[in-house]
Amino acid sequence: MDELLAEQVRYYRERAPEYDATSRPDGDPFANVTALAVGDLRRLGPVEHAIELGAGTGQFTGVLAEIAGQVTALDTSPEVLALNAAKVQAGNVRRVVGDVFAWRPAEPVPLVVFGFLLSHIPRQRFAAFWQSVGEMLALDGVAFVIDETPHGAWREETAAAEGDEGGAGRVVREGAAVGEVVVRTLRDGRRFRIVKVLWDPAELGGALARLGWETRLTRGDPFYWGTVRPVD
Ligand SMILES: C[S@@+](CC[C@H](N)C(=O)[O-])C[C@H]1O[C@@H](n2cnc3c(N)ncnc32)[C@H](O)[C@@H]1O
């Protein structure tokens, strides 16, 4: 794994205990938009088996447990999966520690879901990411994505603004463009570089069309969401 993506994995492992408290602004002003996305996700059920990539602490795992006979929740962080298990106490969820680029299911499934993972994939790895999703999907299967648009609701600290010597060149060599790398700070002050690519859904639809996917995406800032299917 690239050094930058490995740092991102470490970040989410270390952030696990504070993820739920810090992932949304106080009072969650975007709860209504999230509810619309979750409604669309629910309407994709019932399915026999759903895979959730980057399942995290379980923001969407409970919904999947309700609409799928079986859920496989994948994440590179055992720490978030432990919190996921405490939060989503459903007998039909299997949790697996693994990397989306390397892990494959025993059998392809009808539904693959990822919330707030695509924005952590550098553009250079975009095709490889969708190749992985395609290999997990059964014939007639569908992927569902929800993530951040290029909104102005909050700001990230870009890595280039850090001013570390040669930072920009270093970042490019590690497999991500300069503007794709941001710095996150944990409550104890430790800082990590992670990838953040905010897709406009129209631009994302175009990029996916070139890879042979068709999209039905809805924009409701600060999020977009919807289905992605391989073109026959
Ligand atoms: C922003 S969090 C989203 C978590 C959850 N889906 C949610 O909506 O709250 C991204 C998650 O993806 C996981 N992750 C990052 N890179 C990954 C990879 N290569 N393979 C699998 N999971 C990954 C992180 O550990 C983290 O839990």
- H-helix or E-strand spanning residue 225: strand 223-230
Interval between CA 211 and ligand 1 midpoint (Å): 23
Quick: pLDDT tens for 107-158.
999 999 999 999 999 999 999 999 999 999 999 999 999 999 999 888 899 8
Interval between CA 57 and ligand 1 midpoint (Å): 9
The whole-number pLDDT of residue 142 equals 98
Which strands make up the sheet holding 181-185, listed edge to edge?
157-158, 181-185, 191-195
The whole-number pLDDT of residue 96 equals 98
14 touches ligand 1 (CB under 6 Å)? no
Quick: pLDDT tens for 169-199.
556 657 788 789 999 999 999 999 999 999 9
- Report which protein residue has its CA nearest ligand 1's atom 27: 56
Interval between CA 55 and ligand 1 midpoint (Å): 6
19 touches ligand 1 (CB under 6 Å)? no
201 touches ligand 1 (CB under 6 Å)? no
One-letter amino acid at 163 equals G
Q: Report the sign of the C-alpha dihedral through residues 137, 79, 58, 184, in that order.
A: negative
Does the domain formed by 3-152+199-227 have CATH 3.40.190.10? no
The tokens of 83 are what?
A: 């919190």
Tell me the C-alpha distance between 51 and 37, whole Å. Answer: 17
Residues 189, 88, 115, 35: what is their CA dihedral angle, to the nearest 10 degrees?
Answer: -110
Q: Where are the domains of the chain?
A: 3-152+199-227
- H-helix or E-strand spanning residue 140: strand 137-148
Interval between CA 54 and ligand 1 midpoint (Å): 3
**Core vs surface per residue 35-52: b (16+ CB within 10 A) or e:** eebbeebeebeebebbbb
pLDDT of residue 163 exceeding 90, the answer is no
147 touches ligand 1 (CB under 6 Å)? no
Interval between CA 117 and ligand 1 midpoint (Å): 5
Average confidence score pLDDT of the chain: 94
Residues 116, 223, 60, 10: what is their CA dihedral angle, to the nearest 10 degrees?
Answer: 20
- Report which protein residue has its CA nearest ligand 1's atom 12: 54
Quick: pLDDT tens for 35-44.
999 999 999 9
CA 115 to chain centre: 4
For residue 226, CA distances in Å to 39, 131, 210 come to 11, 18, 18
Tell me the C-alpha distance between 207 and 23, whole Å. Answer: 28
Q: Which residues contact 210 (CB under 8 A, 6 or more apart)?
A: none
- Classify 100 as helix, strand or coil: coil
